[in-house]
């Protein structure tokens, strides 16, 4: 695989960053995951806009322009011949060679830019056919989930709790209400209405969420943007999640309670179909 590091396209074995990079020492960095369908990037503009916002919120600057980032994405997809999968892009604050809680001077310390591709079947997946089983776990992440930082230890632990419990993924719960999934936005459907948490600093503003809600509105579906509880989720007709890496993923059970007949629901299936058709 060819990867990109700070201006260079290299074989992955030759790509290196400093052990002092603040991404490594402080999780001081941001990232984006953009999916690839038929060799083309899905909604790069949305990901670039969110990246710029994440960078601004952390007082960081991209070492290259958004246009250059798009070119690097395309170049990597082409070089690796990816038809379906993802491009991972990460910008960390770099380092001036010491470990210090104080940010290094941006005039003398350049951020590190790293990109790589991952080939992966995204459309015809067994997970989408079967749907995901979800457990709920407490949301103990920091309060700025709207910034897409590389601090992913707790989401990773939550996913492991789900796996140990025999489930596929976890939904995070704060003050009795679902915030989002470990790496996706969460939705329930009740009496034909789609319910998903409203945007705030409590959740990541999903690029897939924006697109899916737009398509749902265009299809005359009813949408309510508000927090919902796990009890509501357990009593829902169906549920699903959205993310760049799984598009619209049906959810078939929540904390052991089966939703509907235990198969992916009609709203989730329809939105998944619409999303994939519109994005390719």
Q: Is 148 a catalytic residue?
A: yes
Residue 242 binding ligand PDD, by CB under 6 A: yes
Q: E strands within 141-261?
A: 169-174, 177-181, 185-190, 193-196, 222-225, 238-243, 247-254, 257-258
Residue 208 binding ligand PDD, by CB under 6 A: yes
Per-residue exposure over 187-211, b if at least 16 CB sit within 10 Å of its own CB, e if not: bbbbeeebbbbeeeebbbbbbbbbb
The smaller minimum CB distance to ligand PDD, of residues 53 and 110, is found at 53
Q: What is the largest CA-CA distance in the chain?
A: 60
Residue 169 binding ligand PDD, by CB under 6 A: no
**C-alpha to C-alpha distance for 92 and 127, rounded to whole angstroms:** 32
148, 164, 214, 234: the active-site residue? 148
Residue 92 binding ligand PDD, by CB under 6 A: no
| Binds ligand PDD by CB under 6 A, chosen from 22, 73, 93, 209 | 209
Residue 150 binding ligand PDD, by CB under 6 A: no
Strands 238-243 and 222-225: unpaired
**C-alpha to C-alpha distance for 151 and 162, rounded to whole angstroms:** 19
Tell which residue, 71, 149, 158, has the closest CA to residue 115.
71
Residues β-bridged to residue 133: 253
Stretch that binds ligand PDD, among 74-82, 110-118, 160-168, 206-214 (CB under 6 A): 206-214
| Binds ligand PDD by CB under 6 A, chosen from 36, 204, 216, 252 | 204
Residue 180 binding ligand PDD, by CB under 6 A: yes
| Binds ligand PDD by CB under 6 A, chosen from 92, 112, 132, 184 | 184
The smaller minimum CB distance to ligand PDD, of residues 132 and 185, is found at 185
Residue 54 binding ligand PDD, by CB under 6 A: no
Residue 206 binding ligand PDD, by CB under 6 A: yes
**C-alpha to C-alpha distance for 9 and 30, rounded to whole angstroms:** 21
Alpha-carbon torsion (56, 57, 63, 64), positive or negative: negative
| Binds ligand PDD by CB under 6 A, chosen from 162, 189, 207, 216 | 207
Residue 196 binding ligand PDD, by CB under 6 A: no
Q: E strands within 120-156?
A: 132-138
Residue 73 binding ligand PDD, by CB under 6 A: no
Active-site residue set: 148
Q: Which residues would be at the binding site for ligand PDD (CB under 6 A)?
A: 33, 180, 183-185, 204, 206-209, 242-245
């Amino acid at each position: 695989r060819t990867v990109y590091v700070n201006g260079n396209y290299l074989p992955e074995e030759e790509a290196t960053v400093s052990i002092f990079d603040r991404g490594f020492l402080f999780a001081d960095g941001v990232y984006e995951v953009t999916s690839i369908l038929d060799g083309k990037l899905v909604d790069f503009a949305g990901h670039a806009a969110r990246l710029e916002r994440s960078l601004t919120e952390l007082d960081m600057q991209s070492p290259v322009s958004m246009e250059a980032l798009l070119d690097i994405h395309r170049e990597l997809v082409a070089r690796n011949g990816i038809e379906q999968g993802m491009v991972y892009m990460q910008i960390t604050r770099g380092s001036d060679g010491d470990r210090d809680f104080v940010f290094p001077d941006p005039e003398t310390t350049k951020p590190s830019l790293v990109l790589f591709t991952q080939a992966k079947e995204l459309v015809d997946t067994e997970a989408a056919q079967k749907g995901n089983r979800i457990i709920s776990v407490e949301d103990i992440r920091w309060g700025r989930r709207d910034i897409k930082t590389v601090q992913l230890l707790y989401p990773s632990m939550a996913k492991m709790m789900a796996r140990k419990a025999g489930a596929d993924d976890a939904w995070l719960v704060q003050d009795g209400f679902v915030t989002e999934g470990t790496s996706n936005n969460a939705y329930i459907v009740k009496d034909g209405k789609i319910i998903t948490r409203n945007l705030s600093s409590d959740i990541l503003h999903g690029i897939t969420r924006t697109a899916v809600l737009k398509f749902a509105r265009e299809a005359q579906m009813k949408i309510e943007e508000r927090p919902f509880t796990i009890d509501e989720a357990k009593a829902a007709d169906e549920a699903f999640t959205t993310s760049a890496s799984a598009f619209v993923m049906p959810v078939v059970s929540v904390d052991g309670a089966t939703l509907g007949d235990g198969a992916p629901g009609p709203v989730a299936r329809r939105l998944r179909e619409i999303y994939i058709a519109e994005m390719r």
